[in-house]
């Protein structure tokens, strides 16, 4: 099911054009605001799934996991990381999910970006101590 | 490079129409929901970077329990993303075929590097924070999305102003 979900996810990224850095850059340069619909539409659908599952459903059928919302602790790294990510996104027009999808549409130059992402993730993992953990607060009862 | 037929031309703000964007966005949300409803797993694309690094690196951070434990399904999810996009590009699209970007390699590499640092530092990316986090109405995610949007727009405008295109 994870594969199927990923497949639909990737299909959506391809249909929406997110897999094409040019379209993302057009958005960031205020030439095409379509991306708002991608993020908005996606967040609404997942928001409904989150709301229904945490309220009315008990546990996930395949894993018996409890349903929880995605709530992460806030700290200054959230803003700092967001800023660094933003500069990277604005420079390249690519974010992780869209990069994998871009590879799927045959865009081999994207391997530069994927290599860059792994290098970046490696660099921060190498530098940061393990103790600065980012834990997901899984609180199924939060409304 | 206009792959989409603008079914709904709204004029200037949406030169490619809104329909492909909307359908794509709904599918992205649906994909995340399928994973979530069947397994309870909250899908994000960027943790894949760290969890996959745990296969090849001894750095402690990548070998934390949650990465080692989740690296299997993250590979499957990412394989799904790649094949879903391929399914569109080579089978379902109105003009099937390979598509390559014209964005310069150094922008992809450098931007990718910053994306790699930033998403991991900021605990998520466009899918983790932007789709699942915002869908969860998480304040952390809303702040993160607002931050990266602001910096991304600023950067893209500066790069454009400097005459780098594409």
Contact in structure between A47 and B142 (CB atoms under 8 Å): no
Q: Is A34 within 8 Å of B153 when comparing Cβ atoms?
A: no
Assess contact for B28 and B131: CB atoms under 8 A. yes
Name the phi and psi angles at A79, rounded to 5. Answer: -75, -45
Give the gap in angstroms from C-alpha A134 to the nearest C-alpha of chain B: 7
Judge whether A5 is closer than 8 Å to chain B, CB to CB. yes
pLDDT for res A130? 54
pTM score over 0.95: no
> What's the confidence (pLDDT) of residue A98?
92
Helical packing angle, A35-56 and A21-28, nearest 10°: 100
Q: Do A66 and B159 touch (CB under 8 A)?
A: no
Distance from CA of B78 to the nearest CA of A (A): 6
User: Going by C-beta distance under 8 Å and a sequence separation of 6 or more, which residues neighbour residue A87?
Assistant: B111, B114, B118, B151, B152, B155
Please give the average pLDDT of every successive group of 10 residues along chain B, which has 166 residues: 46 80 93 92 88 88 87 92 92 85 89 91 85 89 91 91 77
Q: Of A9, A38, A42, which Cα lies nearest the Cα of A26? A: A38
- Identify the DSSP state of B7: S
Q: In the structure, what pLDDT confidence band is assigned to residue A129 with cuts at 50, 70 and 90? A: low
**With 70 as the cut, is the pLDDT of residue A141 above it?**
no
The pLDDT score that the predictor gives to residue A128 is 76
For A9, the closest of B14, B80, B160 (CB atoms) is: B80
Separation of alpha carbons A15 and A41, rounded Å: 13
Structure confidence at residue A6 (pLDDT): 92
pLDDT for the residue B35: 93
pLDDT at B165: 72
Instruction: Please give the pLDDT value at position A42.
Output: 92
Residue A132 has pLDDT above 80, yes or no: no
Distance in angstroms (rounded) separating the CA atoms of residues B19 and A16: 9
Distance CA A104, CA B89 (A): 8
pLDDT tens digits, one per residue of A11-44: 999 999 899 999 999 999 988 999 999 999 999 9
What count of other Cβ atoms lies within 10 Å of the Cβ of residue B75?
Answer: 17
B84 within 8 A of A11, measured Cβ to Cβ: yes
Contacts of A77 in chain B (CB under 8 A): 121-123
User: Whole-number mean pLDDT of chain A?
Assistant: 85
Tokens linked to A133: 């953990």
Q: What is the pLDDT of residues A54-111, one digit of tens each?
A: 898 888 888 888 888 888 888 888 899 899 999 999 999 998 999 999 999 998 999 9
**Which pLDDT value is given to residue B166?**
66
**A136: which strand partners?**
A72
């Amino acid at each position: 099911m994870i594969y199927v979900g990923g497949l639909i996810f990737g299909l959506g990224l391809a249909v929406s054009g997110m897999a094409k850095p040019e379209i993302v850059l057009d958005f960031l340069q205020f030439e095409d605001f379509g991306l708002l619909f991608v993020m908005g539409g996606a967040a609404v659908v997942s928001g409904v799934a989150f709301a229904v599952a945490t309220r009315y459903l008990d546990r996930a059928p395949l894993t018996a996991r409890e349903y929880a919302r995605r709530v992460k602790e806030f700290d200054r790294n959230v803003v700092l990381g967001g800023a660094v990510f933003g500069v990277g996104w604005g420079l390249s027009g690519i974010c992780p999910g869209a990069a994998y999808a871009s590879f799927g549409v045959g865009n081999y130059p994207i391997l530069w970006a994927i290599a860059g992402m792994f290098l970046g993730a490696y660099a921060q993992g190498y530098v940061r101590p393990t103790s600065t953990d980012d834990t997901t607060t899984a609180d199924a009862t939060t409304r | 490079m206009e792959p989409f037929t603008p079914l709904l031309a709204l004029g200037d703000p949406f030169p490619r129409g809104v329909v492909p964007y909307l359908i794509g966005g709904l599918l992205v949300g649906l994909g995340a929901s399928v994973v979530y409803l069947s397994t309870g797993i909250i899908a994000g694309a960027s943790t894949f970077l760290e969890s996959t690094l745990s296969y090849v690196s001894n750095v402690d951070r990548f070998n934390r329990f949650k990465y080692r434990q989740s690296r299997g399904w993250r590979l499957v999810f990412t394989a799904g993303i790649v094949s879903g996009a391929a399914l569109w590009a080579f089978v379902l699209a109105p003009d099937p075929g390979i598509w390559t970007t014209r964005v310069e390699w150094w922008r992809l590499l450098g931007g990718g590097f910053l994306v790699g640092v930033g998403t991991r530092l900021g605990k998520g990316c466009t899918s983790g924070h932007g789709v699942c986090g915002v869908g969860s109405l998480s304040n952390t995610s809303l702040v993160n999305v607002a931050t990266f949007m602001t910096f991304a727009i600023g950067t893209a405008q500066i790069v454009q102003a400097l005459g780098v295109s594409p």
